[in-house]
Amino acid sequence: MRSHSSDIDLKGGFNLSVIKLFIPHLLKFRTRVAIALGFMILAKVASVCLPFILKYIVDDLSPMLSTTQTVLVVPVGLLVAYGFLRFSNVLFGEIRDSVFGRVTERISRRIVLDVFRHLHNLDLGFHLDRKTGGLSRDIERGTVGISFLMRFMIFNIVPTLLEITMVVALLFYNYGIGFALIVVVSVVVYVAFSVKATEWRTRFVREANKADSASNTLAIDSLLNFETVKYFNNEKFEADRYDKELINLEVAKRKNRLSLLTLNSGQALIITLSITAMLSLASLRVTEGTMTIGDFVLINAFMMQIFLPLNFLGFVYREIKGSLANIERLFELLAVKTKIIDAKGAVDLKVPTGKICFDNVSFHYHPERPILKNVSFTIGAGQKVAVVGPSGAGKSTLGKLLFRFYEVTGGDILVDDQKVNDVTQSSLRQAIGIVPQDTVLFNTSIFENIRYGRPDANDDEVTEAIEMAHLTDFISSLPDGHETTVGERGLKLSGGEKQRVAIARTILKRSSILVFDEATSSLDSHSERAILSAFKEIEESHTSLVIAHRLSTIVDADKIVVLEAGEVVEQGTHTELLAKEGAYYHLWQVQQQKREPV
C-alpha cells in the first residue's frame, strides 16, 4: 500500500516543535492565561515571604523576654501574618488551577478533535494500513499527555524557576555570595543530571509505549474477530500470542522502572549534598555570631522550599518527557498528508442529470500489477448499468474510484461532464449513495443506523426508508423493535439483515447516483426479490451503477459491462450479450447450471 509522510521529527531530545504547536491554542485564551499567570506570581511571592516571617518569629522568641505583653503581641502578629501568607499561597494556587483548568480542557479537546477529523479526512490507503487498537491507545495516551504538558509546563517549571531566581537574589542580598553560589551550583548540577538521565531513559518510555500499543492492537483485533477465533478453536493460540506481547510489555516496564530508580537516586544524592552544604555554612555563621538562629531557620526553610519543588520539577520534567513521547504519535498523525486532496479552486459538483462517464480509466496500486486498464463506458442519465465479471476483475474498484477513495492513474471519470478530480470530495460523495458488499454497522439501534444515511432526517423519513427496504416486518418481530441494538459491527444481525439496513440507509440519503456493490449477495431468494422490487422503485429517478455477481439480478439493466482482468471485453443488454455467445454468455451458462436442481 502507499506510504504516508510526516513532516515532524520528534525522536530526539526535548524537541520544542511539539510545544510550539500549543502556542496558537494558548493565544486564543490569552486573558485566562494572563489571569492564571498573575495568581501564579502572587502565590510564589507569598511562598518566598514565608521563611522571612518564620525567621522573625524565631528571633523574637529566642531571647528571654521581660514582659508577657511583648510575647503576646509581637509573635501573635507574626503568626497571623505567617498563617495569612500560607493560606494565600494555597488559595492563589487553587485559583490559578481553576482559571487555567478550562484552558487545558478546551485545548486538549480541540487538538484531539483535530486528530479525529484529520483521521477521517485521510485516504483509504492509510486506513487499510492502520492498526485500530494501537491507534486508539496513541490517541488516549496523547490526550493525557496534552493535559499534563499544558498544566505542568506552565505552572510548575516556570514557577519553580521564578522562585529559585527570587531566592538566589534574596540570599545574595542578605547573606552574601556563598549561600547564593551553593544554590546556583546545586540547581545547575541537579537540572543537568535530570536532563541527561531523563534523555537516557526516554527510550525506555518509548519501548513501553510501543509494547503497550502492540498488545492492545492484538487484543482488539482478536476480540473483533471473536467468531473466527471460535470457528477455528484458536482460543489458546490467541492467548499465547497475546501473552508474548504482554511479556514484551513487562520487560519494557521493568527497564523503565529500573531507569527511574537510577534517576531518583541521583537526584536525591544531589539534594542531600546541597542541603548539607548550606546548613553547614549557616551553622558556621551562627557560631561566629554573624547569623541568628532565625537566619539558620530561614536558610533551612529556603532550602526545603527550593528543593522540594525542584525535586518535583525533576518528576515534572520526567513526566513531560514521557508526555512528549506519548503525544509524538498524536502530532505525527496530524502531520500525515492525505493522498486525496481537493484541487485548488475545486467547486461543488452539480448533478442535473446524473450521467457518468468512465473515459479510458486505468488504475494500479503498484505499476507492475494493474487493476484496471483503459476502461471506458457511459451510464446515461437515469440509466441502470451493471458491471459483471469474475472475482478480481476490478469491479468494486470502479465504485471506489467513483467515490474518489483513490486517484485514477490514467483517464478520467466524469459526472455530468465534470471531472471528479475537479470537484470537492464532499459534494461528490454527497451525490452518491452506496450499498456496499460488506456492510458494517455502528453499535447502536437499527433506527439510528438507518438515520446515519442522513442524520438530519426526521422519524417519518426514516420510517419511510425502512418500508421501502422491506424491513418493517423484520423490525416488528424484534423484542425492542426500532431500538434493538445491532452489536459491534452489526454482529447481532445476519448478512442479509445488515444489507437491508444498508439499503434503507442509502434510500434515506436521497442521492442522485446509486452504487450497488453486490448488494444482494447475502440475501436469500425471497429477500432478494423483495429488495430488487424496492430497487426498481428507487432506480426510476436515479442513475445506477450495479456491481453484480448474480447475473439474474441485472437482466433488466440498460447496459451490462463485462470486465476481465481489468479490461472491458463486452458491452450490451442482457439479450444482446447472450446472442454474442461470448464472455457474458459463458458466465450466464455457468450460473444457470448451478441453479439447476441436482
Mark whether 306 and 386 lie in a shared domain.
Answer: no
Mark whether 246 and 365 lie in a shared domain.
Answer: no
Mark whether 297 and 403 lie in a shared domain.
Answer: no
Q: Is residue 475 situated within a structural domain? A: no
Q: Is residue 539 situated within a structural domain? A: no
Q: Which residues contact 291 (CB under 8 A, 6 or more apart)?
A: 175, 282, 285
Phi-psi sector, 284: left (phi>0), alpha (psi -120 to 50), beta: alpha
**Burial, 287: exposed, middle or buried (Cβ in 10 Å; 0-12, 13-18, 19+)?**
exposed
Q: Which residues contact 41 (CB under 8 A, 6 or more apart)?
A: 162
pLDDT at position 410 is 93
CATH of the domain at 87: 1.20.1560.10
- Look at the chain and report how many structural domains it folds into: 2
Q: Is residue 174 situated within a structural domain? A: yes
The candidate with the shortest Cα–Cα distance to 334, out of 9, 114, 16, is 114
pLDDT at 543 over 50: yes
For residues 412 and 204, which has the higher predicted lDDT (pLDDT)? 412
Mark whether 399 and 256 lie in a shared domain.
Answer: no
Mark whether 331 and 355 lie in a shared domain.
Answer: no
Q: Determine the Cα–Cα distance for residues 196 and 317; give it in Å rounded to an integer.
A: 11
Domain interval for residue 29: 16-335
Q: How far are the Cα atoms of 159, 435, 481, 499 from residue 507, in angstroms, in the given order?
A: 60, 9, 20, 12
pLDDT at position 206 is 77
Last residue of a domain, one of 335, 367, 388: 335
Last residue of a domain, one of 302, 335, 368: 335
CATH of the domain at 395: 3.40.50.300
Last residue of a domain, one of 301, 335, 369: 335
For residues 59 and 301, which has the higher predicted lDDT (pLDDT)? 301
Given a contact cutoff of 8 angstroms between Cβ atoms, the answer to whether 508 and 450 are in contact is yes
Q: Is residue 293 situated within a structural domain? A: yes
Q: Is residue 504 situated within a structural domain? A: no
- The amino acid that residue 163 corresponds to is E
Q: Determine the Cα–Cα distance for residues 124 and 254; give it in Å rounded to an integer.
A: 38
Q: For residue range 324-348, what is the model confidence (pLDDT) as tens digits? A: 777 777 777 777 888 888 888 899 9
Report the relative pairing of strands 369-379 and 543-547 from DSSP bridges: unpaired
Confidence label for 545 from pLDDT (cuts 50, 70 and 90): very high
pLDDT at 3 over 50: no
**Burial, 195: exposed, middle or buried (Cβ in 10 Å; 0-12, 13-18, 19+)?**
middle
pLDDT at position 575 is 93
Confidence label for 424 from pLDDT (cuts 50, 70 and 90): very high
Q: Is residue 404 situated within a structural domain? A: yes
pLDDT over 90 percentage in the chain: 15
Mark whether 141 and 253 lie in a shared domain.
Answer: yes
Confidence label for 524 from pLDDT (cuts 50, 70 and 90): low
Map grid coordinates 531571647 to a residue: 63
Q: Distance from first CA to last CA of the chain, Å, rounded?
A: 44
Across residues 231-259, what is the average pLDDT?
A: 85
Given a contact cutoff of 8 angstroms between Cβ atoms, the answer to whether 566 and 372 are in contact is yes
Mark whether 61 and 108 lie in a shared domain.
Answer: yes
Mark whether 120 and 185 lie in a shared domain.
Answer: yes
Q: To 5 degrees, how large is the angle CA 341–CA 346–CA 349?
A: 105
Confidence label for 401 from pLDDT (cuts 50, 70 and 90): very high
- Range of lowest pLDDT (14-18, 282-286, 334-338): 14-18
Mean pLDDT of the chain: 80
pLDDT at 321 over 50: yes
Return the beta strands (E) in 367-431 as ranges. Answer: 369-379, 384-388, 410-415, 418-419
Q: Is residue 456 situated within a structural domain? A: no
For residues 377 and 134, which has the higher predicted lDDT (pLDDT)? 377
Mark whether 266 and 138 lie in a shared domain.
Answer: yes
Q: For residue range 432-478, what is the model confidence (pLDDT) as tens digits? A: 988 887 777 888 888 988 888 888 889 999 998 888 887 888 888 88
Mark whether 323 and 368 lie in a shared domain.
Answer: no
Mark whether 141 and 46 lie in a shared domain.
Answer: yes
